Each structure stands twice: as structure tokens, then as C-alpha cells.
């Protein structure tokens, strides 16, 4: 089979990747799922034509989305992951032995099964015995969990698909209710170059709900514009610095996250800061 190119296009931007083979293509109840073997980036997962990850750089996104909120909390015991069916956040969270509860709520069971088959180095997160899988709409699941979790991580698709309710104000209010005192959230918060209106709206909503809010920038070259961010918030004095040191044995396993990166990620360029004002 000849090599071909696959393009993700959104809002005037695009990312084109050279593909050598289609490994899987199917339609779930919620979205189109495609897995490609690429020439330079390893395997690539797309949902409804949007790049979710490549084996080449997924570590940057998953490490930051996971370790920033977990280290912003002084003593996290209970974690909820909303979305994240590929298992990458679970893999990173599993590196924290202090966690006692590791729940994941994913709306699309087929994403989990496809990821287990084609992305074993990422979906290995499901091998952790602490993981409990809930196949449900995260915006509904969370309503019955008042005061239960220490950290909530939302690894959602872009708005417009099944992840749309996860960008609404009510969901952020429900997340706050689901947290124990001093809890922290981190949500996939888009790129300020690609979707500045959504970046600004999520910050505005978070500031109406939580005491402390920040936008942590992440460099991920295979996302259009090469950037994405996490909205990190909580009822804590500070989420921009780790609340505890990174153990040496964990630090040795990480390729992107460290204490300095944690702090530096919240130093936003002027044009991003102006979005929030």
C-alpha cells in the first residue's frame, strides 16, 4: 500500500501527517475512530478526524495533564479521570503510589478497547489494580460524587463531539462539588492560537467557581499550532508550584514534567494573559 497523508483541519489551521498503513477504522456509537501507522510518529489515534495522540509525543500531554494537578495537591488519595479512554492519564497517575482510588469515566467503551489493542504502551494504565472503569457520561457521573475526590482530570475531546458537555459552566460547578476540601482539577483547555475563545471561556468559568486558577501551556508538536493547555484550578492558595517534592524514582521515569516545568507552564505570554482579562 502506498504512503498517503492524513490532515486534521480546524479553524483555519491544519496538521498533516504521513501515513504508511491504516490499522483500524470504525464508527462507534459516539464517534469515528481511526488508528494509523505513520512514517515518523509511530501510531496515531484520531477521533472524528481530530488527532488525539501519536506515540511520538503523547508523553508531553499526558505527563503535564496528570502530574501538574497531582503535585499541586499535598496529599491526593482519590482521583477521577473523565475521558482519557486511551489510558495515558491512567498510566501517569499509576506512578503515584499514594493514590488509593483511581476511577475513570469514559463515555465510549470502544475507545478503550481500540487503545488496548493498538496502543499497549499507553493503555497499560488499565493494568493498575486500583483502576475502576465506569462507562458513562462524565457530566452525569460526577453529580453523584459530592465531596469524594481529591483530584479530577478531564482528558476530553474537543467541543462539538461527545466531549461538549465537559466545556460547560455546570460541569465545572459539579466538579467543585465532587471535590474534597483543597481539591484540584485539570482539564484539557485547548490552544490559545487555535481556539482562543474557548481558552478564555474556560478560564472565566473556572474563576467564577474556584479560588485559584491558572492556564498551563504544553508543547505538543502533532497538535495543530504545536501547543495546547490545561486549565488547572482549586480551592488552594497556589496551584502553580508543586505542593510536595517529586520523588527521585518517579522523576527518573518522566520525559517532560519536572518542578521547574510545573512552575514555568503557568507563565503565560501577554496575548494569552489578555484573553483572561
Active-site annotation, residues: 155
CA distance 258 to 99: 19
Cβ contact 186:153 at 8 Å: yes
CA distance 215 to 229: 6
Strands 43-47 and 131-135: unpaired
Instruction: Report the half-sphere exposure of 211 (CA within 13 A, side-chain side).
Output: 10
CA distance 45 to 22: 11
Strands 149-155 and 78-83: parallel
Angle, vertex CA 52, rays to CA 48 and CA 54, nearest 5 = 130
CA distance 3 to 255: 30
Q: How far is CA 235 from the centre of its chain?
A: 20
Residue positions counted in the chain: 277
Cell of 156: 476530553
Instruction: Report the half-sphere exposure of 164 (CA within 13 A, side-chain side).
Output: 5
Amino acid at each position: 500500500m502506498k504512503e498517503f497523508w492524513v490532515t486534521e483541519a480546524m479553524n483555519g489551521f491544519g496538521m498533516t501527517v504521513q501515513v504508511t498503513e491504516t490499522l483500524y477504522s470504525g464508527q462507534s456509537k459516539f464517534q469515528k475512530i481511526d488508528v494509523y501507522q505513520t512514517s515518523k510518529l509511530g501510531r496515531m489515534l484520531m477521533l472524528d478526524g481530530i488527532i488525539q495522540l501519536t506515540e511520538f509525543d503523547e508523553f508531553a500531554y499526558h505527563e503535564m495533564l496528570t502530574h501538574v494537578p497531582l503535585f499541586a495537591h499535598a496529599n491526593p488519595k482519590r482521583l477521577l479521570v473523565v475521558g482519557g479512554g486511551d489510558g495515558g492519564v491512567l498510566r501517569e497517575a499509576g506512578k503515584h503510589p499514594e493514590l488509593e482510588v483511581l476511577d475513570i469515566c469514559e463515555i465510549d467503551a470502544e475507545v478503550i478497547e481500540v487503545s488496548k489493542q493498538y496502543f499497549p504502551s499507553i493503555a497499560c494504565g488499565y493494568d493498575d489494580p486500583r483502576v475502576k472503569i465506569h462507562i458513562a457520561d462524565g457530566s452525569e457521573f460526577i453529580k453523584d460524587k459530592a465531596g469524594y475526590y481529591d483530584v479530577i482530570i478531564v482528558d476530553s475531546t474537543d467541543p462539538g463531539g461527545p466531549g461538549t458537555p465537559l466545556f460547560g459552566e455546570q460541569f465545572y460547578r459539579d466538579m467543585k462539588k465532587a471535590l474534597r476540601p483543597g481539591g484540584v482539577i485539570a482539564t484539557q483547555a485547548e490552544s490559545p492560537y487555535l481556539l482562543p475563545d474557548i481558552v478564555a471561556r474556560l478560564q472565566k468559568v473556572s474563576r467564577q467557581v474556584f479560588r485559584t486558577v491558572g492556564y498551563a501551556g504544553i508543547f505538543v508538536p502533532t497538535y495543530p499550532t504545536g501547543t495546547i493547555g490545561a486549565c488547572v484550578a482549586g480551592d488552594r492558595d497556589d496551584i502553580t508550584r508543586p505542593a510536595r517534592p517529586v520523588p527521585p524514582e518517579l522523576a527518573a521515569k518522566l520525559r517532560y514534567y519536572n518542578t521547574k516545568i510545573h512552575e514555568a507552564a503557568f507563565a503565560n505570554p501577554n496575548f494569552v494573559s489578555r484573553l483572561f482579562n
